[in-house]
Amino acid sequence: MLSPQSDFIRQAGNIFPRMRAWRRAIHRWPELGFQEHKTSALVGKVLHQTGWKVLAGVAGTGVVGLLPGSHPGPCFAIRADMDALPLQEQNTCAYASHVAGRMHACGHDGNTAMVLGAAQLLAGAREHLRGSIKLIFQPCEEAPPGGALAMIAAGVLHSPRVEAVIAGHVDTTLPVGTIGVKAGPVMASADVIHLTIQGKGGHGALPHKSIDAIAVAGQVIANLQHLVSREQDPLEPAVLSLGTISGGSAYNVIADRVWIQGTLRTLQEKERRALPRRIARIAKGVARAHRAEALLTVERGHPALVNDSRMTKGVITSARCLSGRVKIKELLRPAMSGEDFTHFARVVPACFFRVGAGGKQKKYSFSWHHPRFDFDERGLIAGAAVLARTALDYVPR
C-alpha cells in the first residue's frame, strides 16, 4: 500500500477546488502589511477546521499553526506571506480585487492558499509524522523591515524550536507542475538609498547668484551610472536603480534642494557594505565640484537570501518522490529582487523555491507587481504537494 505522502499530488488535486476558493477569496480582499485581518481570520479558520492548533494575533496579524505528529522528532516549519500591494488591479476577472488601490500582485494569495493546502495534506498524514510541523503565516513581506523579523521577535522559531524552514512562491515564468530551486544565493539584498542634493535657491534669471540643485542632481545621477558599469566587479552582481526624484517649486525659480531615492541590490554582504561608501564618494565629489553638497542615508532592507544546500537537496529529493509528477528546474541564476524570508534563513537552515504557475496564455504573462499580474492556479497543486512532502520527509542533521 502506498503511504499517504506518496500520493500527495493526487490528494492535492482533490483539494484543488478548495485551494482555488481560498486563493480567490484572499485575492478579492487584498490587505496591506500588518492589516491582514480578513486573511488571517480565513487562515485561522481553515487550520482549525483541519485539526491544527492555531495561535492567532502573532506579531499583529500573523498566524501560527502547529501539528504534533504521532512520533517524537524535530519541528519543521513552512512559511507563507499574506500581504498585498498598494496597487490598482487592472484585471476584470470574477475574483478581481474589491478594494480600490489594493491588489495581490505578487501572488501571496497563492502562497497562502498553497500552504493551507499543504496543511490539509499533512493533517491527513499525521500518523506518519515524526516530530511536529509549524506553519508560519506572516504579515507584511512587501515593506521593510517586514513581518518575518516581527514573527521571529514574537518567538515563532521557539516552543517547539524550529530546526528547518521552507517556503514556496508562485512564479509565472515557470510552467504549472514545475518547481524552480537553487542552492546558495537566490535573492538579493534590498536597501533603500536617500540622496539629498543641497544647493542655493534663487531667481531663474540669475544662475550665477545661486547653486542649481537640479542641474547638480543631473550630474550626480549621470555619474552614479558609472558605479555598476565601471567600478563594480562584473562577476559580483549589483543593481543601483534611482526610482524617485523631486525638487523645485516653480519654472523660474532655481531649486535649492533635490531629493532622490533608489534601490541598491547585491548578493554578497561585502558588496552591500562597500557600495554605499562608493555612492557617497561619487555624489559628494560631484556635488562639491559644482559648489553643492550631497547627503546620503541608507535604509537597510532585507539581506540577500541564501538557500542551505542540504535543505535544497531535501526539497529536490522530496519533489522527485511525488510519482514523477513534478518537474524540477534547477535554477542557475539568482534574482535581484528581495524577499524577507531571508530573516528566517539567517537563523535556521532554509530553502525558498519557486512554484510554477505560468502558461502560454497572455493573462499569465505579466510580471510580479504588475497591475495585470495573475497566475495559473493549477500550479498550487504541485506547490502544496512539494511543501507537505518535504516537511514529512525531513530528517534532522
Q: How far is the CB of 133 from Zn ion (least distance, A)?
A: 22
Identify which of residues 106 and 176 has a Cβ nearer to Zn ion in the complex. Answer: 106
Strand 305-307, strand 62-68: pairing: unpaired
Catalytic position from the list 7, 81, 109, 141: 141
Stretch that binds Zn ion, among 59-67, 105-113, 146-154, 303-311 (CB under 5 A): 105-113
Q: How far is the CB of 341 from Zn ion (least distance, A)?
A: 9
* Ramachandran assignment for 107, one of left (phi > 0), alpha (psi -120 to 50 degrees), beta (any other): left
Residue 8 contacts residue 388 (beta carbons within 8 Å): yes
Contact characters 169-208, Zn ion, x per CB under 5 A: ----------------------------------------
Active-site annotation holds for 141: yes
Stretch that binds Zn ion, among 101-109, 238-246, 296-304, 308-316 (CB under 5 A): 101-109
- Per rule CB under 5 A, is residue 106 in the interface with Zn ion? yes
Q: How far is the CB of 76 from Zn ion (least distance, A)?
A: 22
Contact characters 56-95, Zn ion, x per CB under 5 A: ----------------------------------------
Comparing CA positions, the residue from 21, 14, 124 lying closest to residue 70 is 124
Q: DSSP for 270-313, please give it.
A: HHHHHHHHHHHHHHHHHHHHTT-EEEEEEEEEEPPEEE-HHHHH
Active-site annotation holds for 83: yes
Q: How far is the CB of 202 from Zn ion (least distance, A)?
A: 43
Catalytic position from the list 31, 83, 109, 340: 83
Cα–Cα distance measured from residue 294 to residue 130, given in angstroms and rounded to the nearest whole number: 58
Which residue is closest to Zn ion by CB?
106
* Ramachandran assignment for 49, one of left (phi > 0), alpha (psi -120 to 50 degrees), beta (any other): alpha
Stretch that binds Zn ion, among 90-98, 99-107, 147-155, 303-311 (CB under 5 A): 99-107
| Angle made by CA atoms 123, 127, 132, in degrees to the nearest 5 | 65
Q: What letter represents residue 51's amino acid?
A: G
Chain centre distance of CA 61: 17
Which residues are designated catalytic?
83, 141
What residues make contact with Zn ion under the rule CB under 5 A? 106
